Every structure is written in structure tokens, then in C-alpha cells.
Amino acid sequence: MAGKKTKLRKVVVIGTGFVGTSYAYALLNQGVVNELVLIDLDKEKAEGEARDLNHGMAFGNPMRIKAGDYEECHNADLVVITAGANQRPGETRLDLVSKNAKIFKGIINKVMDVDFQGIFLVATNPVDILTQLTREISGLPEERVIGSGTILDTARFRYLLGEHFEVDPRNVHAYIMGEHGDSELPVWSHVQIGGVPISKYAGITDFDQNEEMKAIFENVRDAAYHIIKRKGATYYGIGLGLVRLTRAILNNENAIVTVSAYLDGQYGLDDIYIGVPAILNENGVREIIELNLNDLEKDQLRNSADLLKEMVDVGRKAIQ
Ligand SMILES: NC(=O)C1=CN([C@@H]2O[C@H](COP(=O)(O)OP(=O)(O)OC[C@H]3O[C@@H](n4cnc5c(N)ncnc54)[C@H](O)[C@@H]3O)[C@@H](O)[C@H]2O)C=CC1
Ligand SMILES: CC(=O)C(=O)O
């Protein structure tokens, strides 16, 4: 029967460690793509992961999964990068910058060598800095280079607020902005529960002084440390977050999500990738949502951006 040809949706994931394979597993369960190619420095690992995932196909969603090489990026819609070192207990994300910047230089050059025309989605830490370096190395337009940014932190914030107020986290609207890391900020001025501002819902006005609210934010900010101390790495949350972003992009959803996106004057910041709410669609970042932040939030965002700018320079020097 002649019919409308459906567009193939091909994703390549580079790095098949904890994060890359959690993403692949979540993709298989949610049926977002037609083809998934796994690339890793350790080719045997990528091959083993592809076989294992394929053996779940009868219970998941039909798609092609295989291990491959960089030429697969030529016609990919999306290249997701999860390759590189992760934090050891006590290490910050920023401690990884030089090591992972060098790994990224090699990876991005190999992807661009095969004339990649799609969108990069970066998860490797420090994610804001590696996203900026990905853009600089690849030369792609900024809207087509995206970092997972604070998508996970925002999900953690919504989850903890939902637990505290006994409301489904899907009905909690809240953002974490800034660095995906220790300098991030909770945007208390825009938290809403079912459309009701949190100050009205909870009867609290000074969130930064309230012990319970402070503890919620600290648990968000320090979540990775708490998990890494207990199990060595975090991966399920970000795996699902990356699928959320994949859907927003490949389904042309125009979804508002917090990602690391390029600022060119928004929030008074220039030439920086940082976590902000943005509208994502098949072209990448369509638009940055500019919230009316209060003075404290503006200061916190600027401090976070200043720190990231310094670390971008460290990353640039490492790959000169
Ligand atoms: N953005 C976020 O919210 C999150 C980011 N992460 C970050 O994701 C990254 C990956 O973490 P894990 O999967 O736990 O690490 P992992 O060590 O389990 O996996 C990393 C993989 O990268 C591969 N790799 C290393 N160099 C490579 C190269 N040049 N080319 C191709 N593959 C290469 C390794 O062989 C390994 O399979 C880390 O930087 C981690 O901090 C982790 C959790 C959340
Ligand atoms: C490791 C990391 O970046 C996280 O879990 O937030």
C-alpha cells in the first residue's frame, strides 16, 4: 500500500558506560527512535551492550540497535555524548574539565569529519563547559548544540517539592538554573503548584531563610554527591532526562525544558552555555525563556556564569 513515508529517526550515542546504556535502555522502553548506534572507545563493550539491548526487543519497542563507528554520525539526527570520566567520591564536576575536554576534542572532530548535520546533545560533565567546547570545536550553529544542563536538577527539585507538599511532581512547576553543579540556583520566585505560586500555596515568603526549603534545595544541589558516595555513579535519572530531551527534539515538541543553552544577551549574559528554560524542537533550541528573576536570583545566576566562564578558559587551554 502506498503511504506517507515516515521519517527515520537515528540517534548515535557516544559512550556506553552507565549513563549511555541507561539512556539506551530507556529509549528501548519508550520507543522514540528507529535506529540507535552505540559507539565507545571500548568496542567490545559497545558490541556487548547492543546485543544485550537487542535481546529485550521482544518486550520493548521495535527499533534497530547496533554497535558502530563514527561514519554512522553522517546521517544521524542526534548525537548524544556521554563519553568520558565521571566523578569519584569527593570530586566536583569541574574537576573533570581538562580530562574530558581532551576526550571531547577527539570525539567532536571525528563526528564532524563525516559531515554531521544534526544536533549534538551533551551529558558528560562538566556539561555546560563541554557543551560550549562542542560548539566551538564543531562550528555548528549554537541552537544545534545543547547540553543536558539542569534538566536532572530540575527533575530532582520537582520530585522533592512534590514529596514535601504531597503533590504529583508533574504538577509542580519549578526550575533549577545556572551551572549543572555546585553554583546552581533554585528559582523560588517562579515555583508554582498546580498554577498557584508556592508562596501562596505554602504560606512562605523568604525561601532562602526557611530551613525546610533550604534543605530541599541543598538535597538537589548535593544529590550527585549523596548518590556517588553510596553507589559510585548516577545514571537512571539522567538516562530518562536524555530521553525527554530526545523526544522534545525528534518529535518537534516545542517543549520547555531546562537545558544548557547558548546565551547571547539573554539574562544580561553573553557567549556562555548555562542552564536556562528553553523551547526545544527539531531545530534544537528555538528560544530561551527569560524569566523575571528577583535580585538575589540574578546575582546567583551571574556568579554561576562567572565561574563557568573561568572554567571554559581552563577547558580551552587543555585542548589548545
Ligand atoms: N549531565 C548530567 O546530569 C550527568 C552527567 N554524568 C556524566 O556522564 C559522564 C559519563 O558517566 P558514566 O557513564 O557514569 O561513566 P562511565 O565510566 O560508566 O562511562 C564512560 C564511557 O565513556 C567511554 N569513553 C571514554 N573515552 C572515550 C572516547 N574517547 N571515545 C568514546 N568513548 C569513550 C568509556 O569507555 C566508558 O564506556 C561523566 O562525565 C558523568 O559525570 C553523569 C550523570 C549525570
Ligand atoms: C553526576 C551528575 O552530574 C549528577 O548526578 O547530577
- Residue-wise pLDDT for 210-224, tens only, equals 999 999 999 999 999
- Is 180 noted as a catalytic residue in this protein? yes
Of 55, 74, 164, 180, which is the active-site residue? Answer: 180
Say how far apart CA 80 and CA 67 lie, in whole Å.
Answer: 14
Q: Which atom of ligand 1 is nearest to the CA of 127?
A: 1
Rounded CA separation 229/298 (Å): 32
- Alpha carbon dihedral 204, 206, 212, 213, in 10-degree steps, equals 100
Residue 7: predicted pLDDT: 72
pLDDT confidence of residue 129: 98
Name the closest ligand to CA 241.
1
Weakly modelled stretches of the chain, pLDDT under 70:
1-6
Q: In angstroms, what is the span from residue 86 Cα to ligand 2's centroid?
A: 9
227 and 239 together in one domain:
yes
Neighbours of 264 (CB within 10 A): 11
Annotated binding site for beta-D-fructose 1,6-bisphosphate: 158, 173
pLDDT value for 264: 97
- Nearest-CA neighbor of 76 among 124, 39, 40? 39
Q: How many residues does the chain have?
A: 320
Q: What is the pLDDT of residue 5?
A: 56
Q: What is the bridge-based pairing of β-strands 185-186 and 176-177?
A: antiparallel
Task: Report whether residue 150 contacts ligand 1, using a CB cutoff of 6 Å.
Answer: no
- List pLDDT tens digits, range 150-198: 999 999 999 999 999 999 999 999 999 999 999 999 999 999 999 999 9
The number of beta carbons lying within 10 Å of the beta carbon of residue 31 is 12
Atom of ligand 1 nearest to the CA of 42: 35
- Cα separation, 193 vs 52, whole angstroms: 41
Amino acid 6: pLDDT: 61
**Closest listed residue to residue 245, CA positions, set 257, 236, 234:** 257
- How far, in Å, is the centroid of ligand 2 from the Cα of 125? 8
Of ligand 2's listed atoms, the one at least distance from the Cα of 93 is: 3
Is 186 a member of any domain? yes
In a shared domain, residues 167 and 309: yes
Contact indicator for 254, 150 with CB cutoff of 8 Å: no
pTM of the model: 0.97
Structural domain of residue 299, as residue ranges?
151-315
**Which CATH number do you get for residue 79?**
3.40.50.720
What contacts 32, CB < 8 A, 6 or more positions away? 9, 243, 246, 247, 250, 251
Cell of 173: 512547576
94 CB within 6 A, ligand 2: no
**Ligand 1 within 6 A of CB of 41:** yes
The answer to whether position 286 is within a domain reads yes
Domain-terminating residue out of 99, 114, 147 = 147
Distance CA 102, CA 137 (A): 11
Residue nearest to atom 2 of ligand 2 (CA): 224
Query: Are residues 116 and 225 located together in one domain of the fold?
Result: no
What are the binding residues for NAD(+)?
15-20, 40, 45, 70, 84-85, 100, 123-125, 148
In a shared domain, residues 117 and 200: no
Specify burial of residue 128 (Cβ count, 10 A radius: 0-12, 13-18, 19+).
Answer: buried
Last residue of a domain, one of 147, 163, 195: 147
The CATH number given to whatever domain includes residue 218 is 3.90.110.10
CA-based R_g, the chain, Å: 19
How far, in Å, is the centroid of ligand 1 from the Cα of 162? Answer: 30
Query: Does residue 4 sit within a domain?
Result: no
191 in the same domain as 297: yes
Of 97, 118, 147, which one is at a domain's C-terminal end?
147
What confidence score (pLDDT) does residue 1 get?
Answer: 44
Residue 46, SS3?
helix
